[in-house]
Amino acid sequence: MTLKLSIALIAVICILATGLTLYGLGGLDPALLQGWLNAAGIWAPLLYVILYVIATLLVLPSTALNLTGGAVFGPVWGIFWTSVAAILAAIAAFVFTRTVGREAVAKRLRGRWQAMDAEIRRSGAFYLFAIRLVPIMPYGLVNFAAGLTSVSFQDYLLGTTLGTVPSVLPFVLLGSSGLKAVRTGDVLPLLGALGLTGILVAGSTWYRRRLKG
pLDDT tens digits, 56-92: 898 887 888 888 888 888 889 999 999 999 999 999 9
pTM: 0.75
For residue 109, give its domain range.
3-212
Query: Which residues, in sequence order, are CB contacts of 173 under 8 Å at separation 6+?
Result: 70, 75, 79, 189, 192, 193, 196
Q: Which residues of the chain have pLDDT under 50?
A: 1-4, 6-8, 10-11, 19, 21-23, 25-28
Model pLDDT, residue 210: 65
Answer for the pair 165, 39: CB distance below 8 angstroms, yes or no.
no
Distance between CA atoms of residues 24 and 68, nearest Å:
10
Helix or strand run (H / E) with residue 197: helix 188-212
Model pLDDT, residue 25: 45
**What Rg, from alpha-carbon coordinates, does the chain have?**
17
Domain count, the chain: 1
* C-alpha distance from residue 169 to each of 31, 41, 87, 135 (Å): 24, 24, 14, 11
In terms of Cα–Cα distance, which of 154, 166, 158 is closest to 204?
A: 166
In terms of Cα–Cα distance, which of 207, 178, 189, 182 is closest to 66?
A: 178
> Strand ranges (DSSP E) for the chain?
none
Answer for the pair 104, 137: CB distance below 8 angstroms, yes or no.
no
- What number of other Cβ atoms are within 10 A of residue 3's Cβ? 10
Instruction: Count CA atoms closer than 13 A to 133's CA, side-chain side.
Output: 24
Which DSSP string do the residues of 82-112 spell out, in sequence order? HHHHHHHHHHHHHHHHHTT-HHHHHHHTTTT
Model pLDDT, residue 23: 46
